[in-house]
Amino acid sequence: MKNNIDHSDPALNMNPSVGNGGEPQFQADGDVPNLTTQQGVVISDNQNSLKAGPRGPTLLEDFVLREKINHFDHERIPERVVHARGSAAHGVFELTESLAQYTTAKILTEVGKQTPLFTRFSTVAGNKGSKDTPRDVRGFSVKMYTEEGNWDLVGNNMPIFFIQDAIKFPDLIHAVKPEPDRGFPQAASAHDTFWDFVGLSPETFHNVMWLMSDRALPRSFGMMEGFGIHSYRLLDKDGKSTFMRYHWKPVLGVQSLTWDEAVKIGGADPDFNRRDLFEAINMGDFPEWEFGVQLFTEEEANEFPFDHLDATKLIPEELVPVKIVGKMTLNRYPDNFFAETEQVAFCPSHVPPGIDFSNDPLLHGRLFSYLDTQLTRLGGPNFAQIPINAPKCPFANNQQDGYMQMAVPKTRVLYEPQSLEPTRPRANFKQGFKSFAEPMDDGVKGRIRSESFADHYSQPRMFFRSQTPIEQAHIATAFAFELGKVDTAHVRTRILGHLINIDPDLADRVATALGMALPEAPTPLAPIIDMPPSKAVQTIGITPKSLKSRMIGILVGDGSSKAEIEKFENAAKAAGARVKIVAPSKEAVLDDGTRIQADERVAGAPSVLFDAVVSIIMPDVAKKLAMDGNTLDWFTDAFNHCKAIAYCPATDEFILSKVAVKKDDFVTPIKELDTFIDNAKTRLWEREPQVRDLA
């Protein structure tokens, strides 16, 4: 609670003086630095342009005005085509177990070493100004500033991708982006062009299953996994190769929103995940992930019932366990969002010696595409000199000139071989990057795809059948919602046919929700395999019971018990939660006369922003709130989203009696503090079928 509210205006302490026209001019004083132009010239007046007399025209000679407006006019750079909406943070990586027997990369061999890094999370389909909570894949990219050069781990929060070959990527993105003739929907896949593409591209269905699952609605960045999608190679000192797929596993566990919450949060707080990251770091509640790898040989890969070079296939953890070898902690928010979060450039081609690429055709397209796009976004080939992209180890090359060249090389030669300057940098065969010496099969070049990439249904089937019943209901309901937005009948019919091949029950549930008859299923290109279920692909089933980093909302008002508020606040924080005080007005006077400032007003902080809610109010406040639709929704939504609710007698008498809140095990009086704290660590999913229709 915020007591002793300071209503003084800090602007009154900024040495104001009155300028022409009577407006205050705030001048530098004491330790305040002078405001200057980009050339360092001190500015005397930043409020008035230079004019020919008090009412005369503005003069072109005003270089302060010209510089300020010119810079403003050019403040925006092209946003990313995909992953435009991003949030990021600085942190460190520490290796906890050496992989020296597999690789020479020091980042994976030197246990205990702290390596600085920068991590960016993003949505894929929406533009930079879209919301944080659409149903979408999330980007999960990490730039490690290793002593052997930058290593960019460019991944997503899902372990597979929609397509197998990079040549289809522009088509995928054009299909999911707003339809070009109408410019909508923004940040949404629920429209005809996306599902038309999906229905004609069966390879997409594994990622589509993940997209329809709760994994597409992360509760926070710190509660989602990260995956590299592709197989990479680790090379030891003798050049021997071991395949690797990497994982970022959140210490808080995988946790998600419900669809109804995601929709409402998008309206109440479009910056929900970004704000959560900012607040968590500022409070010292640092997000953490364990870094794990799946390691396997060429011979082991040949025994898999799928091709690991196919980016639409995951490697089940039950088949190849994830070996935890390190930990990432994000501990500092960017100092400047544009300079760091917006200008950071990730490229999967950035790897240190000891790490190399597999023959995944999607990966090979990305190795070209990511570098190519930075040239347009960041003004030319020198984007690596921007501080957030620059290596933190020594670097030198013979690259010359170009847009935004910031270095001033003092040399006569920028070429090799050369003999004029013996101290200029040269290649180092012993320490330098070496590619895997892969034996190549004899073959004919052609636009072909391996027959081992032909199975498009076995892994989606495994994914669906691995889910808990409530997660399966969420997936079916998501398909019904998305296809319900598709106007073209044959597109819906085609998708239902594919769903039959994945799971007939899933197809029937979606068809029933849409009021459609099931069509015939398309003939698979390869036999469908019933793979063993994998618990690791669940969301609800593996969500830990914990309050750490969750948010509790406490509703208070004039006359509320300070002691009762502090009791709940202290108990929630002791369990690892964060707390926000919500009230009808921005300020309230408690029972002991303390005037507090609420974090949020009820009208601006719906309960979808909290993981559990408490109400501690007096009868006169409860009577007024019982007439307010925002307050009634506050309790109804919390109940409908299966959250814990603790209520006081006044809330019970005047509010709960008016709303459809059944007093089940998760709706408890405030005297049952311990029960509420325990309930708030999870959700009562058994409640969901009682409050909404699920397919």
CA distances from 236 to 143, 240, 326 (A): 23, 5, 19
Indicate the burial class of 109 (C-beta count within 10 angstroms; 0-12, 13-18, 19 or more): middle
Q: Which residue has the tokens 């709940």?
A: 568
Say how far apart CA 392 and CA 150 lie, in whole Å. 8
Strands in 251-361 per DSSP E:
288-296, 323-332, 355-357
Alpha carbons 488 and 493: distance in angstroms, whole number: 9
The answer to whether 86 and 139 have CB atoms below 8 angstroms apart is yes
Cα 640 to Cα 109, 376, 645, distances in angstroms: 49, 47, 11
Closest CA to 621 of 653, 657, 659: 653
Query: Distance between alpha carbon 236 and the CA centroid of its chain, in Å?
Result: 33
**How far is it, in rounded angstroms, from Cα 226 to Cα 330?**
14
The residues near 335 (Cβ < 8 Å, ≥ 6 apart) are none
Q: Rounded CA gap, 110 and 246, in Å?
A: 18
Q: Which two tokens stand for residue 281?
A: 């770091």
Is 265 in a helix, a strand, or coil? helix
Q: What is the CA radius of gyration of the chain?
A: 29
The size of the chain, in residues, is 695
Reduced 3-state DSSP string for 375-420: HHHCCCCCHHHCCCCCCCCCCCCCCCCCCCCCCCCCCCCCCCCCCC
* Torsion sign, CA atoms 105, 106, 107, 109: positive
Q: How far apart are CA 248 and CA 229, in angstroms?
A: 12
The CA distance from 212 to 232, in Å, is 28
Distance CA 224, CA 288 (A): 11
Q: Which is it for the CA torsion 483, 484, 486, 488, positive or negative? A: positive
Cβ contacts of 628 within 8 Å, gap of 6 or more: 584, 602
The tokens describing 540, both together, are 């609800």
Compute the distance between CA of residue 443 and CA of residue 446 in angstroms, rounded to an integer: 9
> HSE of 110 in the Cβ direction (CA atoms, 13 Å)?
10
Q: Is 319 exposed, middle or buried (0-12, 13-18, 19+ CB in 10 A)?
A: middle
- Structure tokens, 42: 């001190």
Helices (H), 485-520: 489-502, 504-514
| Catalytically annotated residues | 83, 156
Q: How far apart are CA 292 and CA 455, in angstroms?
A: 27
Distance between CA 488 and CA 275 in Å, rounded? 38
The rounded Cα 454 to chain-centroid distance in angstroms is: 31
Report whether 336 contacts 89 (CB < 8 A): no
**Cβ(176)–Cβ(216) under 8 Å?**
no
- Displacement of CA 170 from its chain's centroid (Å): 22
Say how far apart CA 291 and CA 96 lie, in whole Å.
Answer: 9
Angle between helix axes 192-199 and 169-176 (nearest 10 degrees) is 140
